[in-house]
Amino acid sequence: MTITSIQQQLATPEGFAKAVSPKSTIFGIAITSLVLSVIGIGMNLFQLGSASGWQWSLMFRFFFDAGAIEFTGSRSGRSEIWRFFYVYGPIVLLPLGIILLIVHFATRGKAGAGLYDSYRQRGWIGRQLLPGLKVKNGNNQVDVAFISHPSVPDAEFEAAAHHYAGYLGTLDKKATKAAASAALKQKVLAGVSAAALAPGVPPAILAAPAQGDGQYVIVVPPDASGKGSLQVLPIKA
């Protein structure tokens, strides 16, 4: 896959929609709500089944009763709180997840069209290289990528990424951790100029979490007024 072939694919709204999916916070919340609902329902059934000897008539009878099980011992208070969430959490989260999924699919086309327009107006196809820096994102570690800009020649971009990779290679474990912490303070998870991590790097080069396994990504910066956020999205093969 070359930049030329990608540009041809992204030249039409249809091709763009097949290759790029806009990030959706609503979709993420919907899936999280549904997963938590399933966990809550499963734990509720497990507790009722264990307490009733798996008598299904009793399990369904007390399914919505948080006080149906009496806990004893030093952790009884904590167990009662968890049972409250197992019983009543899905009542809220399951409908919420379904509603958000409906909203997501109903507005996905509009969101995709808006992303395509933004890409055509101010976006570009960037090449991502991994210099070897990893940072924490919640409980996970993610690779930080240097992402090219059309104004920076390929040779200069590659040299900048390789130079920073060489610098990281000289660091011990403590210094590497400090470099990762410094990158987080610079808000690398949201995407920043790579010059914030490595002074001397052309400021047009970006540093952001790597997207997918492909070499190329879509970059859409905020508009001229600063509205919106930087988006770096993978390109589907």
b/e burial code for range 123-155 (CB count within 10 A of at least 16 → b) = bbbbbbbebebbbeeeeeebebbbbbbeebeee
Estimate the share of the chain in helix, then strand, then coil, as percent rounded to the nearest 5. Answer: 55, 15, 30
Q: What tokens were used for 148?
A: 């090219």
Q: Could you tell me what percent of the chain has a pLDDT over 90? A: 59
Which residues contact residue 82 at a Cβ distance below 8 angstroms, ignoring those fewer than 6 apart? Answer: 43
* Structure confidence by residue, pLDDT tens digits, 187-229: 999 999 999 999 889 999 999 999 988 899 999 998 877 777 8
Residue 230 near residue 191, CB atoms below 8 Å = yes
* CA 17 vs CA 22, 26, 51, 73: distances in Å: 9, 18, 51, 56
More confident residue, 73 or 155: 155
Is a pLDDT exceeding 70 seen at residue 26? Answer: yes
Report DSSP state, residue 200: T
Number of neighbouring beta carbons within 10 Å of residue 46 = 13
What pLDDT score was predicted for residue 237?
67
**Which helix (H) or strand (E) segment is 192 a member of?**
strand 192-193
